[in-house]
Amino acid sequence: MNDIADHRMRAAWTRDGAAATELAPRAVRWLTQRIGRCVPGAPVAPDSALLVTPSRLPGPAAEKLAVIVGPEHVLDDPGERLARSGGLSYLDLLRRRHPSAGLDVPDAVVLPADPGQVQRVLDVCVEHDIAVVPFGGGTSVVGGVNALRGGKDAVLVLDLERLDRLVSVDPVSRIAVLQAGVRGPDAERMLSLHGLTLGHVPQSFERATIGGFAATRSAGQASSGYGRFEDMVESVRLATPKGEWRLGVAPASAAGPDLRRLAVGSEGTLGVITEVALRVRPIPESERFEAFAVDGWDRGLAAVRHLAQRGLLADVTRLSDVDETDSALALAGNWKTALLRRYLAARGLAEPCLLVLGWYGESVRRRREAVRSLRAAGAVGLGRAPGEAWRRSRFAGPRQRDALLELGVCVETLETAAHWSDLGALYERVRAALRESLDRPLVLCHVSHAYETGASLYFTVLAARDEADPIGQWQRAKHAASAAIADSGLGTISHHHAVGADHAPYLAAEIGDLGVAVLTAAKRAVDPTGILNPGKLLP
C-alpha cells in the first residue's frame, strides 16, 4: 500500500509512533537539579526471584475449564501467571523490583475464545467459588486488574485476548460491534478496511482493549471531537454469574435509567464485558496539529473554557501549566526549544503555557475561528512543528516513565476533573498536597479534556525515589492528593483512570454511602457470591 492510500485507509493515530524515550544527559542533569540526586535502585526482578506459590485452582475446576476453552488455554505456569499479576501503575512496577513487596499472583490464566466460553467459564467459577479478574490490555494504573482473592481460595485471570474480532459493521447506522479483547490499533486496523474509525486514542491505546475502555469509562486524547468512550457505546454484552446480559437497543431511550451507564464503568464487578457495539465515523481525510502559547495558567484555562463554551474546541485540546511547559522544553533540551524559549520571552510571555490543538477531518474547517478566538485572548501561535512533535510522541508517556524509573525517579500520574469555577482551587490543593508529602517534587499538570462546564486536570509527579521505602513514599503522596480531592468536594477522584483498588477508599466521599449501597446491591443481584473482580471499585 503506498503512502497516500495508507493515509486514506488508516486513521492517523495508528501511524503515531513513540518518540525516543532515552533521556539526554542534559535532561537528566536538569531533572536532578530540580528534584535532587536520584539513585538507580533495584532492577526488575527476574521471574524466578518473585514469590509464586503453587496454583490453588481446584483440580475439578481446572478440568472443566480445560473442556470449555481447551487445555492449552488454561495456563498455570508461573511465567504466565506473573505476566498477569497487576497492571502498570508505579506501585505495580515497583512490586516487580521488590519481591518482598508481594505481588498478587493469580492461580491460573484462562483464555476463552468467545462470549459463550466466557459465560461457561464464569459458571464454573460460580460452582467452585473462584474469584475472577477480567483482563484486557493490563494497562490499569489504579490496581484494577490486581489478582485479589476477596476471601476466595482461588483466583483466576480471565484474559480476553482471544476475543479479538470485529463482529459486524453497520455502515448505515455507523455502528461496529467489537469483541472485548480487541486492542486499540487492531480495532482501527479492522475498521479501516471499512473506511471507518473509532477515534478513541487514550495514552494506553497501543495495548488497552475495547472491553477495558468500556469497563473503566476511558477518555481518549481526541475526546473533544470523538467523545468519551461511554458516549460511543450503543450497546454492551456482558457475561455475569446470573447469565448473559445485553443492554442497549436504540441510540437514545427513556425506558428507565440508562443501564448501559451502569455496565460501563463497572470495572468487571458487575460482569465481564464480552462485546461492545460502538458508534464509528469515517476516517478523517486530513488532520492538523498546531501549538500556541498563553501567558499564565489562568489565562490558558480561560482560553480553553471560551473555546469549549463557544463550541470551538479542537478534537484534541491540551493545555500544559507553566511547570509542565518548562519541563517539556527542558527535557526535550535541543536547539529548537532554546529558540522557542527566546521567542516566547521576546513576545513578553513571562509564564508561557503550551497549548496543543489537533483537528481531524471536517473540523479542520472550524480551526480558523478557534485560532481567532485564541489570538483575541493573547495566545501566541507557535506553528505546526510543536503540535506535530506532540502528536508523534502521544503514546510515549509510559515508555518515558520506564526510562525515568531506571534512573531512580519516583514518577507517576494522577488525575481529576472539576467545574470551571472550581478548577483553579482544586489545582492548588492537589499541588499543595503533593508538595507537602514529597521532598522537592516536580509537579506538572495539564488539561487534556475540556467540557462546557469544566475540565480534567492531569498531574505528573517526579521526585527522587526513596529507595528505603519507595512504595510507602508514593502511597503517602497519592493518599495526600486523593484526600485533597475527596475532602474538598470540588472534583472527582478520577476523570479517566477509574477506581480500581487504589481509589476505592475515596469512592464513598463522591457517590455517598447510598451510592455505595446501590452499587453493592446491584452487584449482589448479578454476582451473589461475589466472585467478580473482588476488592475493586467498591470500598
Residue stretches of the annotated binding site for FAD: 134-140, 267-273
Q: Quote helix, strand, coil % in the chain, to nearest 5.
A: 40, 20, 40
Rounded to the nearest 10 degrees, the angle between the axes of helix 420-437 and helix 470-488 is 150
Residue number, 329 or 493, with CB nearest to a second copy? 493
Choosing from 90, 226, 360, 458, the catalytic residue is 458
φ/ψ (deg, to 5) at 297: -65, -45
Q: Give yes or no for a contact between 130 and 155, defined as CB atoms under 8 angstroms apart.
A: yes
Residue number, 60 or 489, with CB nearest to a second copy? 489
Q: Which uninterrupted H or E stretch holds 298? A: helix 297-309
Q: Give yes or no for a contact between 82 and 50, defined as CB atoms under 8 angstroms apart.
A: yes
φ/ψ (deg, to 5) at 37: -70, 135
Residue number, 94 or 314, with CB nearest to a second copy? 314
Q: Which uninterrupted H or E stretch holds 512? A: helix 504-526
CA dist 143 and 104 (Å) reads: 11
Residues in the chain: 539
CA dist 393 and 400 (Å) reads: 10
Strand segments (E) across 101-154: 108-110, 131-135
Q: How far is the CB of 453 from a second copy (least distance, A)?
A: 5
How distant, in Å, are the alpha carbons of 114, 177, 182, 187, 202 from that of 207?
20, 19, 9, 11, 10
Q: Using the Cα atoms of residue 465, residue 469, residue 475 and residue 481 in order, give the sign of their dihedral.
A: negative
Residue number, 139 or 492, with CB nearest to a second copy? 492
Residue number, 48 or 286, with CB nearest to a second copy? 286
Q: How far is the CB of 245 from a second copy (least distance, A)?
A: 4
Helices (H) and strands (E) in the chain, counts: 20, 18
Q: How far is the CB of 253 from a second copy (least distance, A)?
A: 4
Residue number, 245 or 343, with CB nearest to a second copy? 245
Q: How far is the CB of 423 from a second copy (least distance, A)?
A: 9
Residue 458 a catalytic site member? yes
Q: How far is the CB of 340 from a second copy (least distance, A)?
A: 31
State the binding site: 134-140, 267-273, 401
Q: Give yes or no for a contact between 98 and 470, defined as CB atoms under 8 angstroms apart.
A: yes
Q: How far is the CB of 131 from a second copy (least distance, A)?
A: 19
SS (H, E, C) 147-212: CCCCCCCCEEEEECCCCCCEEEEECCCCEEEEECCCEHHHHHHHHHCCCEECCCCCCCCCCCEHHH
Q: How far is the CB of 162 from a second copy (least distance, A)?
A: 25
Query: Which set of grid coordinates corresponds to residue 183?
Result: 486492542
Residue number, 69 or 236, with CB nearest to a second copy? 236
Query: Nearest 5°: CA angle at 258, between 254 and 263?
Result: 160
- Which amino acid is present at 411? V
Q: Chain centroid to CA 179: how far?
A: 19
State the binding site for substrate: 401
Q: How far is the CB of 449 from a second copy (least distance, A)?
A: 7
Q: Give yes or no for a contact between 417 and 491, defined as CB atoms under 8 angstroms apart.
A: yes
Closest among 265, 269, 141, 277 to 204, alpha carbons compared: 141
Residue number, 230 or 466, with CB nearest to a second copy? 230
Query: Which set of grid coordinates corresponds to residue 453?
Result: 462546564
Active site positions, annotated: 458
